[in-house]
Amino acid sequence: MLTKELIQTKKSASDALFFTKILAPTNDEQTLLITLENLGRLPADFNGSLLAQLLQHPNPKIRLLAVKNLGKLNDPSWFNVVSELATSEDNTLTRREAISTIGRMRTEKAIPILSQFLHDGDPKVVLQAIRALLHFKKLPEVQSALLPLTDHPNSEIQDAICKELRTDQKEGTRDKTHPLSPNALKNVLVHGDVRETLNHVPDESIHLTFTSPPYYNARDYTIYPSYDDYLAFLVDVFKAVHRITKEGRFFVLNTSPVIIPRMSRSHSSKRYAIPFDIHPLLTQMGWEFIEDIIWVKPEQSAKNRNGGFFQHRKPLGYKANSVSESVIVYRKKTDKLIDWNMRQYDNETIEASKVKGDYEKTNIWKINPANDKIHPAIFPIELAERVLQFYSFKGDLVFDPFGGIGTVGSAALSLERFFFLVEKEKEYVQRAMSRLAEMSLLLHKKPMQLSLDTFRTRMEMEQGSHDYHRHCD
């Protein structure tokens, strides 16, 4: 019987006759498939023509495995046959494998055919061709073949090309200002409207934003004329957050669908899916989706919506009690890898910021909700602390544009980060300040509450003194 072990034994014994027989195109498909799947590593002297003769086999899986094995030989003398397969092949997986095999041959002869595949309908084939062509990226003909792909409709292709062809920003370059942030923002709570406040914050000032915006008109502290106005307001704020965020850093957004109660029993209540509606607007403005975390609260903490259905049990009337909120993680879009961001810190900061001990490994975060005697919608400090630990380093500046009673500020202080908060309601600002002051008795950089006017003046002065990026006073 043909087994993996037998194939390996025959390979070790260099039994050429065995392979000539077993790989004959006239053999049944099962035999060919088992053999091709179990060939493993091939010695350089393996007879490639046994594989090449299968490139025209009617079964696309056999053609695919044959070209894959031929690729293991890294032998440019098979270039013509593999090119022929690539151009005639209509099975996209086999075509992809053929391009990959051509790429592995690292021969300049392949440039015209690889360039041809930059126009393939399968984006994975295009990416495979790009990868192979990048070995020759210094050659002008390769550059001019790749450059038009910066406008390719597929964003992975666009990103790959932009990253590779941009010469001004090398992965290895260190930006010494990256870990720094303006002193005038550190441990500051501005009492004012966030849109106005952000007009006075310089570009690329902050490392992380964690926020929970107003829940449309579902709670009583903010009234928007319409849901569209509400989304437009969030778009304004989050565009400004994008501008003031450092390259490649994170924005973590806590929202959930809301219910606007019905006017009377003859009307229905209305639900708005805030996280889903805001998501495309965020990606359009340059936030890259990274993670969807679900914050799950205990069942008893959810508002009961089950009453009617519990009684009548009629289909269509089911309403789920909502025990979850979204915590969606975005990154300011960049060509650079997250490793680049990490490399901007010295070893001491990296070591001190490591997340020690046990941590949540899934995207389901079970955390009890928090309540406050004056604020109807705060998030628990445990949630803020998790986000800050996972997405910032010690000494970073963490921002909350909708500061509430300062939960992000408290988490920042407890984890040795700096905070910058904005909140428009006076009583929340006062409450935040008393919490933050209590926590910061021993701090070198004391929390400061500023009116919008004072903040504006301070920022103008800072700008004048070019003191933006000094780390400490």
Of the candidate residues 7, 39, 422, 450, the single one contacting ligand SAM (CB under 6 A): 422
Query: Is residue 230 within the footprint of ligand SAM (CB under 6 A)?
Result: no
Query: Is residue 212 within the footprint of ligand SAM (CB under 6 A)?
Result: yes
Query: Is residue 171 within the footprint of ligand SAM (CB under 6 A)?
Result: no
Which burial class, exposed, middle or buried, applies to 349 when counting CB atoms under 10 A from its CB (0-12, 13-18, 19+)?
middle
Query: Is residue 420 within the footprint of ligand SAM (CB under 6 A)?
Result: no
Dihedral sign, Cα of residue 400, residue 321, residue 293, residue 228: negative
Give residue 383's identity as a one-letter amino acid code.
Answer: L
Q: How many CB atoms lie within 10 A of CB 370?
A: 16
- Least distance (Å) from ligand SAM to the CB of residue 405? 4
Of the candidate residues 108, 141, 171, 193, the single one contacting ligand SAM (CB under 6 A): 193
Q: Quick one: which segment of 100-108, 238-246, 361-369, 375-383 binds ligand SAM (CB under 6 A)?
A: 375-383
- Least distance (Å) from ligand SAM to the CB of residue 271? 18
Of the candidate residues 214, 248, 257, 447, the single one contacting ligand SAM (CB under 6 A): 214
Q: What phi, psi does 446 have (nearest 5°)?
A: -65, 145
Q: Quick one: which segment of 169-177, 334-342, 348-356, 403-411 binds ligand SAM (CB under 6 A)?
A: 403-411
Query: Is residue 245 within the footprint of ligand SAM (CB under 6 A)?
Result: no
- Least distance (Å) from ligand SAM to the CB of residue 468? 23
Distance of CA 426 to the CA centre of its chain: 36
Contact 380, 365 (CB under 8 A): no
Which 3 state secondary structure label does DSSP give 208? Answer: strand
Query: Is residue 256 within the footprint of ligand SAM (CB under 6 A)?
Result: no
Cβ-based nearer residue to ligand SAM, 34 or 381: 381
- Least distance (Å) from ligand SAM to the CB of residue 319? 23
Cβ-based nearer residue to ligand SAM, 200 or 375: 375
Contact 335, 163 (CB under 8 A): yes
Query: Is residue 404 within the footprint of ligand SAM (CB under 6 A)?
Result: yes
Dihedral sign, Cα of residue 457, residue 463, residue 468, residue 470: negative
Between CA 393 and CA 398 the distance in angstroms is 10
Contact 359, 282 (CB under 8 A): no
Q: Which residue is nearest to ligand SAM (CB)?
A: 404
- Least distance (Å) from ligand SAM to the CB of residue 262? 23
Kindly provide the b/e burial profile for residues 73-95, where b requires at least 16 CB atoms within 10 angstroms of the residue's own CB: bebbebbebbbebbeebeeebbb
3-state secondary structure 132-197: HHHHHCCCHHHHHHHHHHHHCCCHHHHHHHHHHHCCCCCCCCCCCCCCCCCHHHCCEEEECCHHHH
Of the candidate residues 378, 398, 411, 429, the single one contacting ligand SAM (CB under 6 A): 378
Spatial neighbors of 139 by CB under 8 A, at least 6 apart, are: 108, 111
Q: Which residues pair with 253 in a beta bridge?
A: 211, 328
* Site track for ligand SAM across 423-452, x = CB under 6 A: xxx--x------------------------
Of the candidate residues 407, 418, 429, 458, the single one contacting ligand SAM (CB under 6 A): 407
Cβ-based nearer residue to ligand SAM, 309 or 390: 390
Query: Is residue 66 within the footprint of ligand SAM (CB under 6 A)?
Result: no
Q: Quick one: which segment of 56-64, 117-125, 138-146, 372-380 binds ligand SAM (CB under 6 A)?
A: 372-380
Query: Is residue 377 within the footprint of ligand SAM (CB under 6 A)?
Result: yes
Between CA 104 and CA 132 the distance in angstroms is 7
Between CA 162 and CA 184 the distance in angstroms is 35
- Residues in touch with ligand SAM (CB under 6 A): 193-194, 212-214, 221-222, 375, 377-379, 402, 404-405, 407, 422-425, 428
